[in-house]
Amino acid sequence: MYNVAVTGLDEYYPVAIFLKQENEEIAGGLLGDIWGAWLHVTYLWIAAPLRRQSYGSQLLRTAEQYALERGCQNVHLETFSFQARPLYEKHGYEVFGQLEECPPGHTKYFLRKRLTP
């Protein structure tokens, strides 16, 4: 409630999009939230056997479209050097910060993208 009182921004939407197999088993998904005209992608994952088949791209595009429909202008997320930075950059995300040695031997990247209809 403090954030709403200070900013006057009270529209909040949880984001949960899932990739399901034919047997309804969840094989991937995207979780995040929308607040302050920003989509924050917290998690994006795909089960190992289904990777490199464009499911991550589809989930990302679906979330971005959902965000646009709710008035978002931007999206931000975090990823590690051993994760999906190339995927995000392929979709127009840009690194705006990084945290070295988080975890030791790796880098945590902070990315953002301006959404356009």
CATH number at residue 7: 3.40.630.30
Host domain of residue 63: 2-114
Measured distance CA(36)–CA(23) in Å, rounded = 37
- Tokens standing for residue 39: 């989509």
Share of the chain above pLDDT 70, in %: 100
**Is the pTM value of this prediction over 0.95?**
no
Output 109 or 11, whichever has higher pLDDT. 109
19 touches 51 (CB < 8 A): no
Span 70-76, average pLDDT:
96
Domain total for the chain? 1
Q: What is the mean pLDDT of the chain?
A: 94
Measured distance CA(56)–CA(36) in Å, rounded = 25
